[in-house]
Homo-oligomer: A and B are copies of this chain.
Amino acid sequence: MGEQIRVAVLGAAGRMGATTVRAVQEAPDLELVAALDADADLARVAAAGAQVAIDFTVPSVTEGNVHALVDAGVHAVVGTTGWDEAALARVRDHLADRPGVGVLVAPNFALGAVLTMHFARQAARWFESVEVVELHHPEKVDAPSGTARHTAQGIAEARRAAGLGPVPDATTQSLDGARGADVDGVRVHAVRLRGLVAHEEVLLGNAGEQLTIRHDSFDRVSFMPGVLLGVRRVVGRPGLTVGLEHLLDLA
């Protein structure tokens, strides 16, 4: 099967890494050639003949990993958190010198979550009102979730670009907190409920109609189609790509 893509998984002992190892093993068009701990010697990736490395390690090592992979001519798919604009710029610069190599950094690999955010931005400019409700298990320490905050920011940006003003809201008497958190002018509500995992709803309203986009995430296996898609596409996509939405043919 010469056409299989040879894949290494970095951070293979972690929860996401272990799930990824199984997903690569079960994909007929991929071959797992290395499964390494977060602190393993990266020379083993190239030695194993990997074409693509998937990084689910930790914020402290992920940037170093990516530069080492680029040097070795190995494409990278990165799901580790902690990347900021400066770090992304350094990778972009590095890739300018290695024209054949591709790197995908994605803050979220759940196709449904990425599509929700994309559709919310597309729809936002056509609706007078919009709010975000996210719902999670009660062990979560931050409210609202990073995803909901990011979604609200994208919505706010799309409204500004379209010249929309503030959403209508006649509230004059309110119990503290009833109207949710204000993220760039978009109200975000966080529900915490035993039994839930991670869920997000975008509610858009015009006179006489409502549009709702909802994503339910029940299990981390939901990230795997996105991770494998990243592996298959990154080999033909040189340079830096930030965000899975660029691979979803959303023209």
Q: Which A residues have a C-beta under 8 Å from some C-beta of B? A: 110-113, 115-116, 119, 122-123, 125-131, 133, 135, 138-144, 149, 167-183, 187-197, 203-225, 248-251
Q: A189-B180, A218-B218 are in contact. Are A141 and B173 (CB under 8 A)?
A: yes
Does A209 lie within 8 Å of B205, measured CB to CB? no
**What is the CB-to-nearest-CB distance from A219 to chain B, in angstroms, rounded to a whole number?**
4
Q: Which residues of B contact A210 (CB under 8 A)?
A: 112, 193, 195-196, 214-216, 218
Number of copies: 4
Alpha-carbon gap, A220 to B193, bound state (A): 17
Contact of A180 with B178 in the complex, beta carbons under 8 Å: yes
Give the chain B neighbours of A141 by CB distance below 8 A.
170-173
A143 contact from B110, B171, B197, Cβ within 8 A: B171
Q: Which residue of B lies closest to A23 (CB)?
A: B207
Q: Which residues of B contact A110 (CB under 8 A)?
A: 209
Quick one: which of B111, B131, B224 contacts A193, CB cutoff 8 A? B131
Q: List 10 A-B contacts (CB under 8 A).
A: A111-B127, A142-B173, A143-B175, A143-B179, A168-B194, A195-B218, A196-B205, A207-B222, A208-B222, A212-B216
Q: Which B residues are in CB contact (< 8 Å) with A213?
A: 119, 211-214
19 more CB-based (< 8 A) A-B contacts, given A112-B206, A135-B203, A169-B192: A111-B211, A122-B250, A133-B189, A138-B170, A142-B171, A168-B194, A175-B188, A177-B180, A178-B188, A178-B190, A193-B203, A207-B221, A208-B220, A209-B215, A209-B219, A211-B214, A211-B216, A212-B214, A214-B214
Closest chain B residue, CB of each to CB of A195: B205
Most buried by B among A133, A191, A196, A208: A208
